[in-house]
Every structure is written in C-alpha cells, then in structure tokens.
Amino acid sequence: MRATSRLRQLLKSGNTLFVPGCYNALSARILADVGFPAVYMTGYGTSLSLLGMPDAGLATMTEMHLNARYIANAVPVPVIADADNGYGNAINVMRTVREYIGTGVAGIHIEDQVIPKRCGHVAGRRVIPIDEAVGKYRAADAAPTRAAPAAARSTRRFAAPTRISRRAPISPSSRDRRTSRKCAACVAR
C-alpha cells in the first residue's frame, strides 16, 4: 500500500495518532521499528541536524526536501514533512508541493507565518493575513502534479491542512482567531 493511502487510512480510522518527530533517516527507522504508525520530519530537528542552527528559515527547501526523501525511503510507514511556510508566496507553494511529492512523503504541513519565519517554539511569531493564507492553501491543492500523478492524488488531499500552524500565543481572542483560520483553511480545500 502506498504511503499516501496508508496515511489516509490512519486519518480515517478515528483513532488518536501519535506521530513522533524525526530529524534523519536513522531516527525515523528507530521510531518505525518501535511501532509508531507514521513519523513526522521536524523542521527544527532537520535544521539542527543539518546546519547546527535553530529553525528560523535558514534551511532551504532543497535541504528540507532532500532530508524528507532520505526519511521516506528509509521507513515503511507514512512520513509527514514540515514544509515551513511553503517557501514564499502561493506560486512558491505550488512548487513546494510538487517537490515534496517527488520525495515520497505522504503529507506535508504548511505554516501561515510571515517571512522570515520563526520556529514555533520561540516567541515573536507573526502570521500572514487570512486571505493570503487561504490563497496558499488553495495553491497547494491546485499544484500541478504531472511528476507523480498517482502519488499526487493522495498527497494533495493532505498538502495544506494536515497541520495548520497559527504559531501565536493562546488567549481567548487568539483562540477564536485560530479557529477562524482553521475553518478558512478547510474551506480552501
């Protein structure tokens, strides 16, 4: 079964999924070998392991998708990969989706942060306007997939809203805005 089909099956199961983060092929193999049903390629871990630097947008799309390829080829379970903020505007997001499809990952998440981005673990994160975020999610869904049509049909379903990161402090008003952004992203699909 393709990784994309397996991820879709896991998501439809209704069970809570525990998807731990990995930062390279070896850490992914260990997580798969101990029985996790899927793994997540963490941007912070990737940046630290490749560059020795925090996740502040310093790792390029090329470095991130190369690491995703190594991880996806090393494990029999679906891989969800960090695609940062899509590496630019809506047009860049379309390319990002095509590139990640080629790596063999089962899904990606795209953050709605401004450029330059900050890691979700640090203070000072800012998000783009909701209309721009929705435009990026629509672009991800509409990305041409001629490079890998069979995988793309499955992967595109998870490209934008698999994980939508607001990356802002939680307060009653920001919680309402976050919910509004998630609803808008789902409508964009």
Nearest of 8, 7, 4, 103 to residue 46 by alpha carbon: 103
Question: What is the Cα Rg of the chain in Å?
Answer: 16
- For residues 37 and 21, give the distance between their C-alpha atoms in angstroms, rounded to a whole number: 12
Q: Which of 22, 119, 183, 186 is catalytic?
A: 119
- For residues 19 and 130, give the distance between their C-alpha atoms in angstroms, rounded to a whole number: 28
- For residues 88 and 71, give the distance between their C-alpha atoms in angstroms, rounded to a whole number: 24
CB 59 within 8 A of CB 89: no
Q: Is 183 a catalytic site residue?
A: no
Q: How far is CA 136 from CA 10, 30, 93, in A?
A: 25, 34, 6
CB 111 within 8 A of CB 87: no
- Residues with catalytic function: 119
